[in-house]
Structure 1
């Protein structure tokens, strides 16, 4: 029995040593190896990684793209409209060594940075820009995040703003503002039309006043229009000065 116990003990020790020394990494995993506390320049893997017990330690890093939902943020736009915005970011580790050494928790750090960047960028734009220029805002946020996380060995590949929610009371105020703006534009268009009509009438009056023949032609046209109406009485407009001249000649 003692021989069997010793043999089993040796098998257990051997299995422990094998699992401690030999590590198998999947295709999407990399290993950051510390030797006596110092990290190597490059990560190891995928495949089999052999470690020296006690002397070496390993940290595994997932190199796949992570999808992170940014919690809903309260944002005040440049035109003082309070909105609630949430987004999703796509990022992955491109340098496993820096992701482990340069930041304590790259996932939490990226999440916090995404929240502050979202509020900062959107706060510089009006509500209309948030709703109409979403692609541009996505690109701006992505570029800022990518630049900030580069030193951590993180690549932010995409940012998508999911929802921009406005308070119902603010929606009513915006609707009233839009209605007032439409009325203002209609009044401006009407005033422009009246101004153009008045200008044309003034030009026509000036032309008629400068040409006696044109005035007489207009006079005859007016008589023709009056004669076309079904009425028993026709009033002939007549120039007083012309009537006085006719009386003197008679």
Structure 2
């Protein structure tokens, strides 16, 4: 009788072990790459998966988007400026079979490829482009990575450059350059203003020269403005034609 109970117990243990080795449950975002005696036999999931114990093995693959931080990379720009650049990489597996069979560790491989591609792409651009055209650089890096990881069944959806770190000397040089640029713009704007003012004065002079009475009115307006300031000194403008008249008489007297 005792031997019968022991036999039933052993059988129950064997059944439990068999079921635990045969039954797999995959979540909605998981897939199972199944190998039968070492050979690939298919991709299964999600849901309940039944395997033949000791004959079939399964590798779980997560299909969700993976976010990886690309470590800071030393990059020398095309204009010979040394900077440190780091980025964020977004990718996901679209073909579990290739992700498991074609590459040993797709996570490490993608991360290393992202580092080398980041250095390669940014090294072809100048510092100003790194600082002002990040969207275009992100797109270029993403396209290159997506093309190279396609053989691994991986889709690179986005790459974002986070920081571009400069040394103190370069920061001071950029600040001086920006200050010089602002001064140049200020001088150009001032010169344009002087040029426009001179053109308007020439135009006004031509109009006033056509009507001598208009010049007299300008004289009176100037005197009115001076009188309104309560100044003890009054400067009275003398018409140029009067001065030229006296200058002509003096020349004749000689």
Per the normalisation by structure 2, the TM-score is 0.74
- Inter-partner Cα distance in structure 2 for 1:217 and 1:31: 100
1:62 is matched with 62
Aligned to 1:71, what secondary structure does the other structure show? Answer: strand
- Inter-partner Cα distance in structure 2 for 1:232 and 1:50: 109
1:17 is matched with 18
Flag the 1:153–1:227 CA change in 2: closer, same or farther, 3 A: closer
My pick for the range that moved more, 74-83 or 229-238, is 229-238
Unaligned runs of 5+ in 2: 227-232
Alignment of 1:185-196 (within 5 A): 185-196=185-196
1:144 is matched with 144
Flag the 1:36–1:224 CA change in 2: closer, same or farther, 3 A: same
- Inter-partner Cα distance in structure 1 for 2:126 and 2:8: 76
Flag the 1:139–1:120 CA change in 2: closer, same or farther, 3 A: same
1:31 is displaced (CA, Å) by 0.9
Matched residue pairs, number? 242
My pick for the range that moved more, 219-228 or 100-109, is 219-228
1:147 is displaced (CA, Å) by 2.4
- Cα RMSD of the aligned pairs, angstroms, is 3.7
My pick for the range that moved more, 222-231 or 142-151, is 222-231
2:163 is matched with 163
My pick for the range that moved more, 67-76 or 170-179, is 67-76
Residue 238 of structure 1: which of 225, 229, 244 is its match? 244
Flag the 1:218–1:84 CA change in 2: closer, same or farther, 3 A: same
1:76 is matched with 76
Aligned to 1:169, what secondary structure does the other structure show? Answer: helix
1:179 is displaced (CA, Å) by 1.1
Alignment of 1:202-221 (within 5 A): 214=210
- Inter-partner Cα distance in structure 2 for 1:45 and 1:80: 52
1:114 is matched with 114
Q: Decide whether the 8 Å contact of 2:223 with 2:236 is kept in 1.
A: no
1:123 is matched with 123
My pick for the range that moved more, 6-15 or 195-204, is 195-204
1:106 is displaced (CA, Å) by 0.8
Unaligned runs of 5+ in 1: none
